[in-house]
Amino acid sequence: MPQIRLALAQVNPTVGALDANADLVVRFASHAAGRGAHLVAFPEMVLTGYPVEDLALRRSFVDASRRALDALAGRLVAEGLGEVAVVVGYLDRDDDPAHTERLGRPRGAPQNAVAVLHGGRVVATQAKHHLPNYGVFDEFRHFVPGEHLDVVRLHGIDIALAICEDLWQEGGPVAATRATGAGLLLVVNASPYERNKDDVRLDLCRRRAAQADCTLAYVAMVGGQDELVFDGDSIVVAADGEVLGRAPQFEDGCLVVDLDLPARTAPAPVLGTVAHAEAAGYPVRRTVISTAPLPAYEPQPAGVAPRIGEHAEVYAAVVTGLRDYVRKNGFRSVVFGLSGGIDSALVAVAACDAIGPPNVYGVSMPSRYSSEHSKSDARELADRTGLAFSTVPIAPMVAAFLDNIELSGLAEENLQARVRGMTLMGLSNQHGHLVLATGNKSELAVGYSTIYGDSVGGYAPLKDVGKTLVWELARWRNAAAQARGETPPIPQGSIEKPPSAELRPGQLDADTLPDYALLDDVLDDYVEQDRGSAELVAAGFDPELVREIVRLVDRAEYKRRQYPPGPKITTRNFGRDRRVPITSAWVEPPPSGTP
Amino acid sequence: MPQIRLALAQVNPTVGALDANADLVVRFASHAAGRGAHLVAFPEMVLTGYPVEDLALRRSFVDASRRALDALAGRLVAEGLGEVAVVVGYLDRDDDPAHTERLGRPRGAPQNAVAVLHGGRVVATQAKHHLPNYGVFDEFRHFVPGEHLDVVRLHGIDIALAICEDLWQEGGPVAATRATGAGLLLVVNASPYERNKDDVRLDLCRRRAAQADCTLAYVAMVGGQDELVFDGDSIVVAADGEVLGRAPQFEDGCLVVDLDLPARTAPAPVLGTVAHAEAAGYPVRRTVISTAPLPAYEPQPAGVAPRIGEHAEVYAAVVTGLRDYVRKNGFRSVVFGLSGGIDSALVAVAACDAIGPPNVYGVSMPSRYSSEHSKSDARELADRTGLAFSTVPIAPMVAAFLDNIELSGLAEENLQARVRGMTLMGLSNQHGHLVLATGNKSELAVGYSTIYGDSVGGYAPLKDVGKTLVWELARWRNAAAQARGETPPIPQGSIEKPPSAELRPGQLDADTLPDYALLDDVLDDYVEQDRGSAELVAAGFDPELVREIVRLVDRAEYKRRQYPPGPKITTRNFGRDRRVPITSAWVEPPPSGTP
């Protein structure tokens, strides 16, 4: 059987950075060629970054992506890589007016496409067939679907192409690939991280490899883009389900896998031409780069990275999202309130891991209600991590407001949180730090957060991390440090003390909210599973508790709309995933039988 | 030809308020019946409100909508309205598993539907065929398309149904209506307001009436829902384009039109049964309510409301959006900073028009940089309008911050804006007012706005109104007052003085920004028309100016994400219409030939 050395380049592009992304492709292609690869594949839309959102609708951007693709083909030759086939995702335009008219879409509508570059030319292109338009995806808004399957013959091996969602659907490219008898199905992806107990992607790759009856290579993106984090996990599986190679999660790098694949005897066009046919109801375009198999060579073993644990995974997503938001938006440092509580402690440690302690500014902003342990826990964390620590007591600013406006009760509590937010914004304006909001998902869900107070920030690392998970991550991070022989960064006091906003004497979260374990359990059902009240009660939750939590969640939507972005961790984050109206009189009906 | 009296109920439902919306239907149906109507039509999704966004994906909500529809049918009979045919939009579920499977969507997927109620029963239902998924619309995310055209025979007249976007597409229900030979095409709509010089809807109705070869009735929604404003403008046109009736914009009410329509001799099923056929490639379901024409009666003349002027229209959209955001979210009063400038002056007057001067709280918050005319113009406006006016000097709070944190330059300027924002939030927390952000679209576009400062608020009436248009509206509103013999509410000083943020001595907007007329011109091209830099330069703008404005707009996206909602006025508002990444390295390329 003919051999081929495949490299999957698991890289971290930046949205809109066409030149830098092209550099990334050249650098990784060069590295892969140095390791003897004949075929190098990059993720979905690597040239533009992903998702580009409404930039896809701007003609100047689509034109620039097409020009960048052509330029890249030429540049690869100039770098001595003309003999390597390079597969890259990019943003294209549908040049077939009959096709877009049939779809009722404007001429020249954008497409999410993949190209095969070889010998200085774009030898084949294919547009995504299945456009996801649920959850965080809006691809029906941005793209028109492709309708061809492209099969490229390289060193005598037929390689079929697919893009991300095409793999998640049984029909279309997967079925057509089987019908063409291709030896390899190469899938380019940008699949956002989502906390999952099961190994969904590997299961899917195995199932589709069996359905396509060939080896399947899945190349994934890494890195953060606004609310999304791409976790990598590129995979190669044989048709029988054997894992031939797997890249580590959350790390960029190049997975090199030697493959023995069936030679094709199916009819193929003359070198350099394109032939049209049909398979499983799909139009197929066949292109030949080279027909002769490579001389036999000694295959090298490929790496199969183990999966990391659940907490390591979530923590890596938080750190990756934070690091890339900082870096890709041109910041060098972050600042936030270090209260001594668990949320800001975890944010502090994640920030130190993301960009290094000298770039992390933690500010203790005690008020008259702050406990001694708050102040000492904050300082202790600063000492353990080495972050830049300072203290700004808020009493004088709070007093200035109270002397001039009559504020009491909740208004006075919120005032304290807002003086802290303003203090952080002042430091940000003065020194150029990015402000981090340290709130967690449970608080944001029920509105236990002061708008323009603790919600202040450009990025919110724990936006999609519930309080229960915050504690788990803190314990996990400390244990991981201990296992490496390091000092656990988070003081035990911050982990163990009962949560409190400390905005009035003796205040505890538990005065206002149910126990967090219970709250998070209800929120998982209501927010992440989108279940109605009746279902929640049927699942065993107390009807009055359900009524109260649902009410709190519903009426806090206006706060969430003004909250900064943060990394998506769960199946349904507040933001791209869950889009509900602010103005809504809908009240979940009580289950039948309850008053 | 058989006669029928048609009533188009142009109403203002609330999202999620199923009971209140059903009450609205009963009230208007009852009123219409009192005026002798035989057929009463309500807008798209009147029963649930529109758009419901991801509430459509919650099973409990879909179930509740279906139950509310059945209950409504019964209630209409109980109210003595069983003989009137009532057409209402609602949220339904696709009960045909074969259909959703063919579409690759889950069983029981939601549908945007319309029902005909008569004699206590739901006699016909039809789901929207064309699902808009561009601009502010995400209907492909929320619904599966319908595939039947329903034709209902009432008093011998065949009535075909369509829902909003179905009218904007030539194929589908419009073409099928012609093929069925129906006498009336009844279209239920929820079409968001957008500033437009031309009378797009009437042109469309005329064109489609000709294509369907029958009279066309277009019933529209009024009212505000988060960022959308529905402006009404229900229309009835004959096949030859004659306008038979037209409702006023922005007002709820009932348009009653007597029609003479062709009797149908086409085959029809027995009373109470449903017959299936096909027309123009579409499956058609025919239902008969009654076959005998009504006894001849004397028709009454219908109203044809004139269109209001462009400035009246925009102003009405601002007032409607504001009034409904306040009312539907349970507020009774608003508070905002009254600076003496034009933006807050226009917001103040719009708020007075929306909810009455006693509910409008304007706060003058002078700093050491505030001019005398700022303070006097603010007070003068309060005197003219009768709004509740107060003064809170910010110097002590600003001093408290400056004494405790070292802030200078921009940080100090922003501090002043933020002290004002905090002051307003304190008053909001203390007294329950909704805070309004008074910034305009031009400022928001270029980021000339302090996050957590002047951006503070639950609603931003001028979010989609450019500065130039703000001045025009102010002048128009004053002139309208004068024409009615009233005192112009806005002091001439506020209109005429050069705009200034007054955050440092002698500061003017013109120090930092280009002339607003020029700025708005570029913004119209870049933001609203989504043109690239090269196109802007080709249109005659200075390349350096274009580069600078584009840069400002691109890097202010993070601020816009945390800005409150405000009424959509233009073809592309910041929010639902324009969805671009925060993290983006894309820089519009200079036009060829420029350095």
Residues A559-588: pLDDT tens digits? Answer: 999 999 999 999 999 989 999 999 999 999
Chain A neighbors of B54, CB-CB under 8 A? 530, 578-580
Tens of pLDDT, residues B299-317: 999 999 999 999 999 999 9
A132 touching chain B per CB within 8 A: no
A324 touching chain B per CB within 8 A: yes
**Burial per residue of B521-544, b for 16 or more beta-carbon CB atoms within 10 angstroms, e otherwise:** bbbbbbbbebbbbbbbbeeebebe
User: Who's near B495: CB < 8 A, 6+ residues apart?
Assistant: B342, B345, B471, B474, B475, B478
Q: Which of A107-116, A168-177, A182-191 has the lowest mean pLDDT?
A: A168-177
Chain B's closest residue to A458, CA to CA, is B558
Interface touch A429/B451, C-beta < 8 Å: no
Would you give the end-to-end CA distance of chain B in angstroms? 72
Residue B595 is predicted with a pLDDT of: 43
Of B140, B324, B411, nearest to A426 by CB-CB distance is B411
Residue B266 is predicted with a pLDDT of: 63
Token digits for A132?
A: 């996801």
Burial group, residue A390, by CB count within 10 angstroms (0-12, 13-18, 19+): middle
Judged by phi (left if over 0) then psi (alpha if -120 to 50, else beta), residue A177 lies in alpha
Token digits for B592?
A: 């060829």
Token digits for B362?
A: 């304007």
Tens of pLDDT, residues B148-187: 999 999 999 999 999 999 999 888 899 999 999 999 999 9
Q: Which of B128, B441, B467, B559 is catalytic?
A: B128
Pick the more confident residue, B111 or A372: B111
Whether the pLDDT of residue B7 is over 50: the answer is yes
CA–CA distance from B297 to each of A81, A349, B157, B366 (Å)? 85, 81, 16, 68
Report d(CA A391, CA A216) in Å as an integer: 55
Nearest to A47 by CA among A4, A82, A11: A11
Residue B262 is predicted with a pLDDT of: 84
Residue B169 is predicted with a pLDDT of: 87
Q: How far is A146 from chain B (nearest CA, A)?
A: 17
Report d(CA A548, CA A445) in Å as an integer: 12
Residue B272 is predicted with a pLDDT of: 59
Tens of pLDDT, residues B19-29: 999 999 999 99
Residue B512 is predicted with a pLDDT of: 86
Query: What is the residue-wise DSSP string for A210-264?
Result: HHHTSEEEEE--EEEETTEEEEB--EEE-TT--EEEEPPBT--EEEEEEEE-PPP
Q: Is-contact A102 A134, C-beta < 8 A?
A: no
Residue A170 is predicted with a pLDDT of: 82
- Cis? peptide before A51, omega within 30° of 0: yes
Tens of pLDDT, residues A417-451: 999 999 999 999 999 999 999 999 999 999 999 99
Pure H helices in A305-434: 310-328, 342-355, 372-385, 395-404, 410-431
CA–CA distance from B206 to each of A277, A456, B235, B241 (Å)? 46, 51, 10, 5
Residue B285, phi then psi, degrees to nearest 5: -115, 125
Q: How far is B51 from chain A (nearest CA, A)?
A: 8
Q: Is-contact A367 A398, C-beta < 8 A?
A: yes
Report d(CA B65, CA B56) in Å as an integer: 10
Our CA dihedral for B54, B59, B65, B71, rounded to 10 degrees, sits at -170
Average pLDDT of chain B is 94
B432 touching chain A per CB within 8 A: no
Residue A271 is predicted with a pLDDT of: 60
**Burial per residue of B4-41, b for 16 or more beta-carbon CB atoms within 10 angstroms, e otherwise:** bbbbbbbbbbbbbbbeebbebbbebbebbbeeebbbbb
Residue B197 is predicted with a pLDDT of: 65
Whether the pLDDT of residue A197 is over 90: the answer is no
* pLDDT band with cut points at 50, 70 and 90 for residue B282: confident
Report d(CA B114, CA A434) in Å as an integer: 50
User: Who's near B334: CB < 8 A, 6+ residues apart?
Assistant: B322, B326, B351, B355, B359, B360, B361, B433, B434, B435, B436
Q: Does ipTM come in above 0.85?
A: yes
Q: Is-contact A575 A565, C-beta < 8 A?
A: yes
Interface touch A396/B396, C-beta < 8 Å: no
SS3 of residue B350 by DSSP: helix
Does the reported pTM lie above 0.90? yes
Residue B157, phi then psi, degrees to nearest 5: -110, 130
How many residues appear in chain B? 595
Tens of pLDDT, residues A484-517: 999 999 999 999 999 988 888 888 988 889 999 9
Q: How far is A414 from chain B (nearest CA, A)?
A: 8
Nearest-Å Rg of the Cα atoms of chain A is: 27
Average pLDDT of chain A is 94
Of A140, A404, A587, nearest to B392 by CB-CB distance is A404
Pick the more confident residue, B98 or A67: A67
Report d(CA A338, CA A585) in Å as an integer: 38
Judged by phi (left if over 0) then psi (alpha if -120 to 50, else beta), residue A226 lies in left
Whether the pLDDT of residue A546 is over 70: the answer is yes
Tens of pLDDT, residues B43-85: 999 999 999 999 999 999 999 999 999 999 999 999 999 999 9
Pure H helices in A524-591: 533-538, 543-555, 557-561
Report d(CA A154, CA A149) in Å as an integer: 16
Q: How far is A50 from chain B (nearest CA, A)?
A: 10
Q: How far is A202 from chain B (nearest CA, A)?
A: 23
Residue B107 is predicted with a pLDDT of: 87
Residue A280 is predicted with a pLDDT of: 75
A to B CB pairs, distance under 8 Å: 234
Q: Is-contact A489 A315, C-beta < 8 A?
A: no
A458 touching chain B per CB within 8 A: yes
Max CA separation in chain B (angstroms)? 87
Max CA separation in chain A (angstroms)? 87
The helix (H) or strand (E) run that includes residue B440 is none
The helix (H) or strand (E) run that includes residue A171 is none
Whether the pLDDT of residue B591 is over 90: the answer is no
Give the residue carrying structure tokens 């017959």.
B275
Interface touch A414/B429, C-beta < 8 Å: yes
* pLDDT band with cut points at 50, 70 and 90 for residue A595: very low
Please give, one letter per residue, the 3-state secondary structure of B82-148.
Answer: CCCEEEEEEEEECCCHHHHHHCCCCCCCEEEEEEEEECCEEEEEEECCCCCCCCCCCHHHHCCCCCC
Would you give the end-to-end CA distance of chain A in angstroms? 72
Residue B278 is predicted with a pLDDT of: 78
Strands in B323-481 per DSSP E = 334-337, 360-364, 388-391, 434-435
Tell me the mean pLDDT in the region A46-50: 98
Token digits for A285?
A: 């375009």
CA–CA distance from B131 to each of A130, B128, B575 (Å)? 17, 7, 20
Tell me the mean pLDDT in the region B220-228: 98
B595 touching chain A per CB within 8 A: no
Report d(CA B239, CA B210) in Å as an integer: 5
Q: How far is A140 from chain B (nearest CA, A)?
A: 7
**Burial per residue of A428-439, b for 16 or more beta-carbon CB atoms within 10 angstroms, e otherwise:** bbbeebbbbbbb
Beta bridge partners of B110: B93
Tell me the mean pLDDT in the region A383-397: 97
B128 in active site = yes
Tens of pLDDT, residues A218-268: 999 999 999 999 999 999 999 999 999 999 999 999 999 999 998 766 666
Report d(CA A134, CA A137) in Å as an integer: 5
* pLDDT band with cut points at 50, 70 and 90 for residue B495: very high
Token digits for B107?
A: 């069983």
Pairing of β A110-118 and β B85-93: unpaired
A104 touching chain B per CB within 8 A: yes
Residue A400 is predicted with a pLDDT of: 97
Among A residues 396-415, those touching chain B with beta carbons less than 8 Å apart: 396-397, 399-401, 403-408, 410-411, 414-415
Interface touch B396/A400, C-beta < 8 Å: yes
Interface touch A586/B61, C-beta < 8 Å: yes
Q: Is-contact A59 B532, C-beta < 8 A?
A: yes
Nearest to A103 by CA among A52, A140, A134, A54: A140
Token digits for A565?
A: 């972005």
Interface touch A60/B589, C-beta < 8 Å: yes
Tell me the mean pLDDT in the region B503-519: 90
Chain A neighbors of B13, CB-CB under 8 A? none
Interface touch A53/B579, C-beta < 8 Å: yes
Of A534, A582, A587, nearest to B226 by CB-CB distance is A582
Give the residue carrying structure tokens 């004699």.
B119
Residue A275 is predicted with a pLDDT of: 72
Whether the pLDDT of residue A590 is over 90: the answer is no
Whether the pLDDT of residue B488 is over 50: the answer is yes
- Mind telling me the catalytic residues of A? 44, 128, 164
Report d(CA B121, CA B274) in Å as an integer: 14
B164 in active site = yes
Whether the pLDDT of residue B502 is over 90: the answer is no
Interface touch B61/A452, C-beta < 8 Å: no
Residue A591 is predicted with a pLDDT of: 67
B346 touching chain A per CB within 8 A: no
